[in-house]
């Protein structure tokens, strides 16, 4: 797809970075790891992978990446958080004072479906991706406890929101990078392409 499709970065402070890179590369997208502000400047969209949210929030601040990620996202850079990533982009975490980037108007509950023994594979209907269910992998997964008026709920599991979108931001409780199905990655790449087209129009 080349440069027209944009370059997608994967935040590489901790977590399942390689799995996202592989999913992107399989879809023919140019992917980069992002460990510094300089790296962030090279990408047109950013994925915050699965991992531990307390760890990654600390590292985002320690290595001075929190503010640049917030600034780029507010300028319109597409941002997708998977599981831990969705916690990191949320407004707040229900029941704990855990810090977040506070970008998306959602409150998330951590480990909402339970500890590891409750981690599960679920066949999930996601109408935005077509009629075929999506093989969703939930690992100590959060759910969206509250979604603000600007947030669109794209999928639910047991009546709980597990895939949400607010303008240039996407959040999933599950890990599309762990199943062979690339439709959520393709959905995010369309967000990246659309943002690039919008930017070019503005410049023209």
Partner 1 sequence: MAETGTTTVKRGLAQMLKGGVIMDVVTPEHAVIAQEAGAVAVMALERIPADIRAAGGVARMSNLELVQSIMDAVTIPVMAKCRIGHFAEAQALQELGIDFIDESEVLTPADEQYHVDKTPFTTPFVCGARNLGEALRRINEGAAMIRSKGEAGSGNIVEAVRHMRAITEAIEVLVHAKDLKAYAREMRVPLKLVKEVAEAGKLPVVLFCAGGISTPADASLMMQLGAEGNFVGSGIFKSNNPRAFAKAIVDATTHFSDPKVIVETSLSLGKDSRAMEGLDLRKIPESELLAPRGN
Instruction: Write out the residues near partner 1 by the rule CB under 8 A.
Output: 12-19, 35, 50-52, 54-55, 58-59, 62-63, 83-84, 96, 98, 110-111, 115-123, 137-140, 175, 178-179
Query: How far apart are CB 32 and partner 1 at their closest, in Å?
Result: 15
Where are any strands of DSSP class E within the chain? 7-11, 30-34, 45-48, 79-82, 90-93, 104-109, 120-124, 134-138, 143-147, 152-157, 160-166, 169-172
Query: How far from 58 is each of 64, 65, 100, 161, CA to CA, in Å?
Result: 10, 10, 10, 27
Query: How far from 123 is each of 120, 154, 155, 160, CA to CA, in Å?
Result: 10, 14, 11, 15
Query: How far apart are CB 57 and partner 1 at their closest, in Å?
Result: 9
CA distance 67 to 123: 37
CA distance 134 to 38: 35
Task: Closer to partner 1 by CB, 4 or 116: give it.
Answer: 116
Query: How far apart are CB 31 and partner 1 at their closest, in Å?
Result: 16
Task: Closer to partner 1 by CB, 83 or 195: give it.
Answer: 83
Task: Closer to partner 1 by CB, 135 or 167: give it.
Answer: 135
Active-site residue, selected from the candidate residues 26, 175, 185, 186 = 175
Active site residue 175: yes
Active site residue 177: yes
Task: Closer to partner 1 by CB, 52 or 92: give it.
Answer: 52
Query: How far apart are CB 113 and partner 1 at their closest, in Å?
Result: 8
Classify the C-alpha dihedral 184-17-63-6 as positive or negative: negative
Please check whether residue 88 is in contact with residue 51, taking contact to mean a CB–CB distance below 8 angstroms: no
Active-site residue, selected from the candidate residues 25, 52, 64, 83 = 83
Active-site residue, selected from the candidate residues 20, 75, 152, 177 = 177
Active site residues: 83, 175, 177
């Amino acid at each position: 797809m080349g440069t027209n499709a944009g370059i997608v970065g994967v935040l590489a402070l901790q977590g399942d970075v390689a799995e996202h890179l592989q999913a992107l590369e399989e879809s023919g997208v140019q992917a980069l790891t992002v460990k510094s502000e300089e790296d962030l400047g090279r990408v047109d969209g950013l994925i915050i992978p699965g991992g531990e949210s307390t760890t990654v929030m600390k590292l985002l601040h320690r290595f001075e990446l929190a503010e640049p990620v917030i600034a780029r996202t507010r300028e319109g850079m597409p941002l997708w958080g998977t599981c831990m990533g969705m916690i990191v982009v949320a407004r707040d975490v229900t029941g704990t004072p855990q810090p977040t980037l506070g970008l998306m108007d959602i409150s998330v509950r951590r480990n909402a479906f339970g500890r590891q023994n409750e981690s599960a594979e679920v066949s999930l209907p996601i109408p935005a991706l077509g009629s075929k269910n999506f093989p969703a992998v939930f690992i100590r997964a959060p759910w969206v406890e509250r979604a603000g008026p600007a947030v669109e709920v794209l999928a639910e599991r047991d009546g709980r929101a597990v895939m949400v979108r607010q303008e240039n931001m996407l959040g999933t409780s599950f890990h599309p990078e762990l199943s062979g199905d690339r439709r959520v990655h393709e959905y995010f790449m369309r967000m990246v392409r659309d943002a690039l087209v919008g930017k070019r129009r503005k410049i023209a």
